[in-house]
Every structure is written in C-alpha cells, then in structure tokens.
Amino acid sequence: DSKSAKIVGFSFCFNDEDAYYVPVAHNYLGAPKQIDLKFATWAVGQIYKGCVIGQNLKYDFEIVKNNLGLNPPANFKDTMILAWLSDPNSSVGMDALAKRLYDYDTIKFEDVVKKGQTFGDVPLENAAKYASEDAWITLKFYKTFKNTLDKNLLVLADTHEFPFILTLFDMEQNGIKINEAKMQKLILENDTKLKALTSEIYELSGENFNINSVKQLGVILFEHLKLPTKKKTKTGYSTDESVLAELTDAHPVIEKILAYRELYKLQSTYCEPLLALAKKDEGSRIYTSFLQTGTSTGRLSSKNPNLQNIPARGSLAKDVRECFEAREGYSFVGLDYSQIELRLLAHFSRDPALLEAFKNDEDIHARTAISIFGSSDGQNRAVAKSINFGLIYGMGSSKLANQVNITRAEAKEYIERYFKAFATIKEFLESIKISAKNDGFVQTLLGRKRYFDFKSATPMQIAMFEREAVNTVFQGSAADLVKMAMVKVRANLDENAKMLLQIHDELIFEVKDEFAQEFGRATQKTMEEIYTLNVPLKTSLNIAKNWGELK
C-alpha cells in the first residue's frame, strides 16, 4: 500500500555494470548507520533532475511523494508500460519479464524478506543485492524495448501513456470521500433486510440452513423441494444466478434467495469494506489504485478497492453510490461519453445509415429498432440496443436469445435483419477477424496492438480470438480516446478542481461549487473535441453533491 508504506532505501544505476543501493531505514539489531530522510530527499531530487527510468513508476512516485514530499519528475520512462505495449497479453511484472526476455531468474522478494518481516529487517548486504538488481534489470529492459519496440509505439508511450501515469498519480492522491454516518446507517438497514430475507427463506424452505453454502442450498432446492435440475456433478448442484433465474416461477423461495444474494454481496463486498477504509483516513477519503496495464484492451481497471465495479443500476446500487460525497463547498461534476463504442463502429465501418443517424443526433437504438422491426415500440428498442452493443463484443444468436428472452431462431433472424439494414457493418466486422488471422494482431485507433496466436489455436480458441479481436478494436479505441481526454483535461486543472475517478467512459471531478457549471461546460468541450471522428463525439454533463445523484 503506497499510502502507508515507509521508505527503507532506494536503488539506482547509470550503466550496464554498476548499480547502487542507498539504505535509509533498516532497523534490525546491529544495523549500521544510514542516511537520513533529509539527505535521501536531496539525493532523490538530484536523480529526478535527469530522465528517470523505472518499472511501475506510478508506485515509486507515490512512495517518494508520501515519504519525501517530492512531486514526480518532468522526464521519465516506464518499462512496465513499454512491456505492455509490446505484448498486452503477457505478464509485465519484473520477474516474469526478465524470464521472458532474457531467461534470467531475478532474486525474489520472498527469498529476501522472511515471513513476518519487512524489508527493514533485511541485512544490508542482501537488501543491496536485491534492490540493485531491480535497478540494473530495469535499465536493461529499457534498452531492449528502445531497440525492438515499434517506433510508433515508442512515440505513443511518450505522448500518451507516460503522461497518463501522472493523471492516475493525481487521482490516487486525491481519493474520494465517504459519508461514514450514511454508510453505517445503510449497513444497519441492510443487516435488518438480510435477517428478514433469511427468515422468509427458512420458512419457504421448511428448514434452517447456511444460505451462503452452495452445497447446502443445492440439497435444499433439488432434493428437499424437488425443483427441476440438470444432472448432479461431482461437486454438487449448480446454484449460480443463471440456474436460479430459470427457476423463478418454480418456487417462491427462488426470488428471495436471489434478493438475499444481491444484498449480501453488496454488504460484504462494498459497504463494509468501504466503511472500514474510510475510517482509516482523517478526511474519510478512500484511495483506489488504478491499473494502466491491467487489461489487454487498454481499458483502465482499479483495485484496493475496485471502484470501477461499484454497482451502477438499481435502488441498492444507488444507496451505495449516495455514500460517496463531495467535500463541503464542492460538487461532483460527472461527464460521460455517450455511446462511444457505437460511434467508433460508425467511424471505422463508415456505414452510411449509422453515420447519418449519429450526425442527425438520432436515438440510435430506436433507429436500429425501426430498421429491424419497422417500429421502436416496447421490446423492439430493447432488443435493438442489445444487438447494437452485443455485436461489438462478438455476441451471437444464443447470447442474444438469453439476454432478451427470445428463441434462438428469432435472435438469428434479428441479427440477419440488422446486417441487412447496416450492410457495411457486417463487412467491417468480418474484415477485423480476417486481418487478425492474417496479421496476427489488431490495432486500436492510436495504433496499440493486441496479438493473437491463431496458428496454434483450437476451433474454440479461434472463435474466442475472433470475438476478442473485434472487442479490442472498439473497447481499446474507446480507452485511447478517454485517456487522451484525461491527459488534456489534467493539463488545464487548477486548485478549484480535482479529477477523482474514471469509470470506463465516465469521468468524475470534485469542483468548487461556484465553478462547477463553468468547469463542466469547458471540460465537456475538451472531451468532445479530443479527436476528429467521422461522427461527433458526445458527452452528458451532470452536477450533484453525491455519486448516486450524478445520473
């Protein structure tokens, strides 16, 4: 945890032969005298004057900022980013990278730091070998990538990905406030609801059991209540959500179990952990860690806690999001790209009907429904929406049938009608699959590549690679645009506004009340003009005092 981690020492190197370790806070019995934090601050400040090369620099920048008070340097290169650009499917960790590139086994952390110890307990000789190797291998990585990585990707790293590190650094430093009293109240309310649901489930089942035990639940549903089931496996009966959803009409207990599970997950995964984290901070703020290299497509992910996974729909989700509040005198400003992946589909495919719909600012799902069904009434628009988004993710007729509760034959017919209405789209989607097979990779809008090994793939893997290739073009290109926008917006931020979160296509800022409207409109303009597509980019702007009210 970069917020609580204390600096014990730092390592650096300037060439292929020599690497150095500077101890600061080793505290074992008999540890020699080391440099103090004041000198460490000066020394790191001197290093920061040059071009800093590191592996996972965002973490290092946070440790230095939180321990020494130094802001990140102006000039830097991150080998973890370069490794990810070279192959986004492979591990970009230092140990895995050294093995993959050089068949070299690095010294492992767990071999140096014994169980129950910290790095401060490690003798200087061992610490120096471990830390110096880190610096030495990182410089070696950089030289390798500088000589082997596609020149366009090196430029992309310098112009987009490296500056984005600073954007994420700022967001992680900013954090977001939780209203502890509101979250505590919600937890108590949820506990009451869970107890009530538990009683109802016991009554409807005819006996008490552990609702969270898949094994016990399977026995209750399929042996005691005799509900219809597929064949029992070695591990027992399946009771996942899709199985239970099919049994909703078979017994009233199913609805209660589904409600219990949703609420229990909300309570144990979000409410209780978020409150515990908020209690650790003086300002009740929680701090996530964003992962720039966490996905193959380029989409951002986050952990500890994963704020991108906070539920978005339904009253329960709204209750949780309402606990995220702007501080006193500030408001949340939320900007959300509208249908960015569908706009990219129109841009890349140049389908005349889709281009026209976006240029005329039509309801794209209604337009699709009319093209397929002749009407956008009722279920027609919902089916059209599922097709619009589903095709970008490689959805077939089976998945569409399950999603909108129609037969597979109907789903197949609707997809065929869609491709008849938007003929160019089918050709374009097929062209992505063909080029992925022929070239072994696909590219995003800015030229990031994702590789696929079709030559040694099984038929099932080929189908999966085709879906992922299509998805990467759209999701990856959307990620490119959002990152570009974030970097540009960051450059214009002042003390009145902070960027807090990115939830895929949405950005959330904390802005002084008197500047919220003006800031929102200016940022909206920046985001919509970040790149010229064949169709306009569009965002929605919302201002509220908590996250739940932003939409």
Q: Report whether pLDDT(86) > 80.
A: yes
Which H or E run contains 42? helix 37-47
Q: Could you tell me if 180 and 320 are in contact, meaning their C-beta atoms sit under 8 angstroms apart?
A: no
The pLDDT value given to residue 4: 86
Least confident of 104-108, 233-237, 247-251, 312-316: 233-237
Whole-prediction pTM value? 0.93
> If we measure between CA atoms, which residue out of 381, 418, 412, 417 comes closest to residue 399?
412
CATH class in words for 9-149: alpha beta
Higher pLDDT, 27 or 229: 27
Mode of pairing for the β-strands spanning 19-23 and 9-13: antiparallel
Q: Report whether pLDDT(83) > 90.
A: yes
For 47-57, what is each residue's pLDDT tens digit?
999 999 999 99
Q: What is the mean pLDDT of residues 23-31?
A: 95
Q: Which fold has domain 180-283?
A: Taq DNA Polymerase; Chain T, domain 4 (1.20.1060)
Please count the CA atoms within 13 angstroms of the CA of 120 that sit on its side-chain side. 11
Helix (H, G, I), strand (E, B) or coil at 493: coil
The pLDDT value given to residue 521: 98
> If we measure between CA atoms, which residue out of 425, 421, 426, 424 comes closest to residue 374?
421
Q: What is the mean pLDDT of residues 469-480?
A: 96
The pLDDT value given to residue 546: 98
Q: Report whether pLDDT(245) > 70.
A: yes
The pLDDT value given to residue 23: 97
Q: Report whether pLDDT(185) > 90.
A: yes
Q: What is the mean pLDDT of residues 487-499?
A: 97
| DSSP state for residue 14 in the 8-state scheme | S
Q: How many other C-beta atoms lie within 10 A of the C-beta of residue 242?
A: 8
The CATH number corresponding to 342-441+462-469 among 1.10.150.20, 1.20.1440.230, 3.40.50.300, 1.10.3720.10 equals: 1.10.150.20
| Domain parsing of the chain, residue ranges | 9-149, 180-283, 342-441+462-469
The pLDDT value given to residue 314: 81
Q: Which ranges in 87-160 belong to alpha helices (H)?
A: 94-102, 109-112, 124-148, 151-156
Q: Report whether pLDDT(149) > 80.
A: yes
The pLDDT value given to residue 324: 98
- Give the amino acid at 211: I
Q: How many other C-beta atoms lie within 10 A of the C-beta of residue 445?
A: 19
For 37-46, what is each residue's pLDDT tens digit?
999 999 999 9
Share of the chain above pLDDT 70, in %: 99
For 265-319, what is each residue's pLDDT tens digit?
999 999 999 999 999 999 999 999 999 999 999 999 999 999 988 888 888 889 9
**What is the average pLDDT value for the chain, to the nearest integer?**
94
Q: Spell out a b/e string for 485-499, using b for 16 or more CB atoms within 10 Å of the CB, else e.
A: bbbbbbeebeeebbb
The pLDDT value given to residue 80: 98
Q: Could you tell me if 391 and 429 are in contact, meaning their C-beta atoms sit under 8 angstroms apart?
A: yes
- The span from the first CA to the last CA of the chain, in angstroms, equals 32
Q: Report whether pLDDT(373) > 70.
A: yes
Q: Spell out a b/e string for 252-280, using b for 16 or more CB atoms within 10 Å of the CB, else e.
A: ebbebbebbbbbbebbeebbeebbebbee
Q: Report whether pLDDT(231) > 70.
A: no
Least confident of 52-56, 256-260, 381-385: 381-385
Which H or E run contains 332? strand 330-337
Residue ranges with strand state E in 356-486 = 441-443, 449-451
Q: pLDDT confidence of 103, banded at 50, 70, 90?
A: very high
Q: pLDDT confidence of 379, banded at 50, 70, 90?
A: confident
Q: Report whether pLDDT(440) > 80.
A: yes
> If we measure between CA atoms, which residue out of 83, 112, 114, 111 comes closest to residue 99?
83
Q: What is the mean pLDDT of residues 407-416?
A: 91
Q: pLDDT confidence of 454, banded at 50, 70, 90?
A: very high
The pLDDT value given to residue 463: 92
The span from the CA of 339 to the CA of 490, in Å, is 23
Q: Report whether pLDDT(100) > 70.
A: yes
**What contacts 24+ positions apart, CB below 8 Å, involve 511-517?**
511/330, 511/331, 511/332, 511/333, 512/329, 512/330, 513/329, 513/330, 513/331, 516/331, 516/333, 516/543, 517/543
Secondary-structure breakdown of the chain: helix, strand, coil percentages, each rounded to the nearest 5: 55, 10, 30
The pLDDT value given to residue 313: 82
Which H or E run contains 506? strand 506-512
